[in-house]
Amino acid sequence: MSGICGALRLDGRAAQAGELAAVLAALERRGPDGSRLVADGAMAMGCALLASTPESLVEEMPFVHRGTGCTITADIRLDNRAELIEAVGADAAAGDGELVLRAYLRWGSECLARLRGDFAFAIWDPRARRLFCARDRVGMRQFAYHHRPGRLFAFATEPRALLRHDDVPMRLNEVRLADFFENLEAADLESTFFEGLRRLPPAHALTVDAKGLELQRYWKLEAPAPLRLADDREYAEAFLEVFRRSVSARLRAPDPVGAMLSGGLDSGSVSAVAAHLLEQEGRPSLATFSALQDDTDCAESNAVRAALSIGHIDPVRVTPGDVPAMREELLALTRSAEEPFDASMALLRLMYLAAQRKGHKVVLDGGGGDMVLGANDMVIWHLRRGRIARAWREARGIERFWGPQPGAKTLFIRSLGRVCVPAPLRAVRRALSVPRRAAGETPTLLSPEFAARIDLPARRRANAAQVAGFGWQEDSDRARRMLHPYLVVGRERYDRVAAALAIEPRDPFCDQDLLEFCMSLPGEQFQDRGWPKVILRRATAGLLPDAVRWRAGKEHLGGLFVESLWSAADRHDGSSMDNLLPYISAQTIDATRAAATGRPAWDLAVAEWLAFRYASNWLGELDSQPG
């Protein structure tokens, strides 16, 4: 997960490599394996390298094509190298960036249809005096930019690094700060915490030259022809074949790869398949990183212990009791988080820190599993097909899996009522209910003045519209669920937290071929008898212990580790929060502090208080940033 940057002068001036020096320096924590700057006329580019693929050990980045002068800088891992090498006639040792540049030289912007993998890149074409940039389909890699028409286009992997450029102004985006306090992270996929700095959305490309900037979507997840197989076993086998390829592609690295291993199905499946592949190839055992507690009454910890019986792994166990030895480093990482959203990711940060201490640059996870294979509203799905008995069976299964709230009978009756309402009336009801829910009726931590300044009701409505469709009741809803904004912002968090420790996260569930395969499946392969992700449970038979495969419910140990990290003294150390007063009233700050006193870390009041601490720390770090 390298860091990239660039500056294109649009006013006739020549770009200087030196103008990116401070930007590149800010990215070197992300890419500590060497950095390079180049300049050519109006364009300057840089890369801070994380050598996470075999080819990156020798690839020069930015890469300049001698024949045309075209230059690429890229944060990239390609999964279809052999196909591209043959198509563009490149040497087998060519780096991923070179392959993309050669693909661009052959197909222009249409090259994106031929790329598989995770990437963010920029290509400077001096022949057309045009910059072409793109981000991968899911958003595994990041790309932020600043555009002043007729003057400057500048980009970097991280917005705060981009602020180190002398001509990029630092102005706080108060709307995004409100998003943090209001849990509206997914309200849009373009804004940042700084005015004038934008994120390039996933599956988008942009072209910029002296005439202006053009943003285009280059890919959309669509349903292929429905897959029709004989039985559940054949579906599971077909899924496992695609999943194996996805995991295998993400094992391509010059050093041993690690993996997160919880007691859940997703990370367990990734680890089990990865370990099996490594064993087959005669490669070292898979290092796994697990959080658990000693309490044998903890279902999650017991599931982790079961998962640790997977063969060909080298497990690292982390308990709350291990946190004190890492505490100062964890707190420093928390205080210097790239965004306030990242500060709360204590457990994730702990796993990455453990992996870094073992020397790993690449860590697999199963973060996308819930979105890609999850299926809400399957009771409605069956009812709309006239399958009354199947719908009732599904409702009873959901009750067994998740517990008695709301209960099978209530769920079935509610679902039946929704199905019986005609579609036009459902549309009207949705249109009327979103403004009521989103407008201003929900209490807020924001001061009245700040809420009015940023038009909080409008922002809540925008968020409600953006995150609608979290479940799916029809097959046509699946693409929306699989690439839901929650997946994008979640992957962005993983990227930023890992980058602070020079680690590259890889998620086999965020693979284009796997996504398109899942789009072809019948609905029953997503959930059956209340068991979510049932095709994955069947596919991992013999690879993952049954205690994990058929485990009901879901638990998370994050609160315990937050409790170990933030002592009561740290929570209430008396630090001034005056920098929050433009946004949160002093009365609200004091009341939240009082409510959090003596409460455990997973209590809502403590979460709100820590959010104040995170935001105050982040604003303080921002004030101290050079430039």
Same domain? 102 vs 126: yes
pLDDT for the residue numbered 381: 82
Domain contains 591: yes
Same domain? 153 vs 255: no
Q: What is the dihedral of CA 231, 235, 237, 241, to 10 degrees?
A: 160
Judge whether 522 and 381 are in contact, CB under 8 Å: no
Owner of token pair 């968020």: 463
Kindly state the DSSP code that residue 18 receives in the 8-state scheme. G
Strands (E), 160-224: 197-199, 204-209, 212-217
Domain contains 118: yes
pLDDT for the residue numbered 598: 84
Domain contains 450: no
Q: Tell me how far apart the alpha carbons of residues 342 and 490 are, in angstroms, rounded to a whole number.
A: 10
pLDDT for the residue numbered 409: 85
Q: How many domains does the chain have?
A: 3
Same domain? 156 vs 79: yes
Q: Tell me how far apart the alpha carbons of residues 275 and 287 are, in angstroms, rounded to a whole number.
A: 9
Q: Which residues of the chain have pLDDT under 70?
A: 376, 422-441, 469-476, 567-574, 626-627
Q: Tell me how far apart the alpha carbons of residues 309 and 289 are, in angstroms, rounded to a whole number.
A: 13
Same domain? 613 vs 521: no
Same domain? 35 vs 81: yes
pLDDT for the residue numbered 141: 98
Q: Tell me how far apart the alpha carbons of residues 286 and 119 are, in angstroms, rounded to a whole number.
A: 25
pLDDT for the residue numbered 485: 95
Structure tokens at 521: 């499946």
DSSP string, 510-557: G-HHHHHHHHTS-GGGTEETTEETHHHHHHTTTTS-HHHHT--S----
Omega before residue 406 within 30° of 0, cis: yes
Domain contains 211: yes
Q: Which residue in 254, 280, 290, 278 sits closest to 365, CA to CA?
A: 290
Q: Tell me how far apart the alpha carbons of residues 25 and 32 are, in angstroms, rounded to a whole number.
A: 10
pLDDT one-digit tens code per residue, 229-272 = 999 999 999 999 999 999 999 999 999 999 999 999 999 999 99
Burial 400-423 (b: 16+ CB within 10 A, else e): ebeeeeeebeebbeebbebbeeee
What's the predicted TM-score (pTM) here?
0.93
The residue out of 535, 558, 581 marking a domain boundary is 558
The residue out of 533, 558, 583 marking a domain boundary is 558
Q: Tell me how far apart the alpha carbons of residues 373 and 335 are, in angstroms, rounded to a whole number.
A: 34
Q: Tell me how far apart the alpha carbons of residues 400 and 19 are, in angstroms, rounded to a whole number.
A: 61
Q: What are phi and psi of 264, to 5 degrees?
A: -95, 170
pLDDT for the residue numbered 394: 86
Same domain? 541 vs 578: no
CATH at residue 541: 3.40.50.620
pLDDT for the residue numbered 428: 58
Q: Tell me how far apart the alpha carbons of residues 111 and 129 are, in angstroms, rounded to a whole number.
A: 19
Domain contains 474: no
Same domain? 75 vs 175: yes
Structure tokens at 245: 């390829």
Q: Tell me how far apart the alpha carbons of residues 131 and 339 are, in angstroms, rounded to a whole number.
A: 28
pLDDT one-digit tens code per residue, 411-445 = 888 888 888 876 665 555 555 555 444 444 678 99
Domain contains 456: no
CA 412, 413, 414, 418 dihedral sign is positive
Chain centroid to CA 459: how far? 22
Furthest C-alpha separation in the chain: 72
Domain contains 460: no
Angle between helices 232-249 and 265-280 (to 10 degrees): 70
Same domain? 259 vs 151: no
Q: Which domain does 593 fall in, by range? A: 567-624
The residue out of 217, 246, 277 marking a domain boundary is 217
Q: Measure the CA angle with vertex 495, ends 130 and 241; round to 5°.
A: 95
Kindly state the DSSP code that residue 310 receives in the 8-state scheme. -
Omega before residue 422 within 30° of 0, cis: no
Same domain? 149 vs 282: no
Judge whether 307 and 268 are in contact, CB under 8 Å: yes
Same domain? 180 vs 284: no
pLDDT for the residue numbered 437: 46
Domain contains 393: no
Same domain? 132 vs 64: yes
Ranges of H-type helices in 322-445: 323-335, 346-357, 369-373, 378-383, 388-402, 408-420, 423-438
pLDDT for the residue numbered 597: 86
Same domain? 170 vs 273: no
CATH at residue 182: 3.60.20.10
Give, in order, the Cα–Cα distances in Å from 486 to each of 51, 187, 470.
Answer: 29, 10, 9
pLDDT one-digit tens code per residue, 92-138 = 999 999 999 999 999 999 999 999 999 999 999 999 999 999 999 99
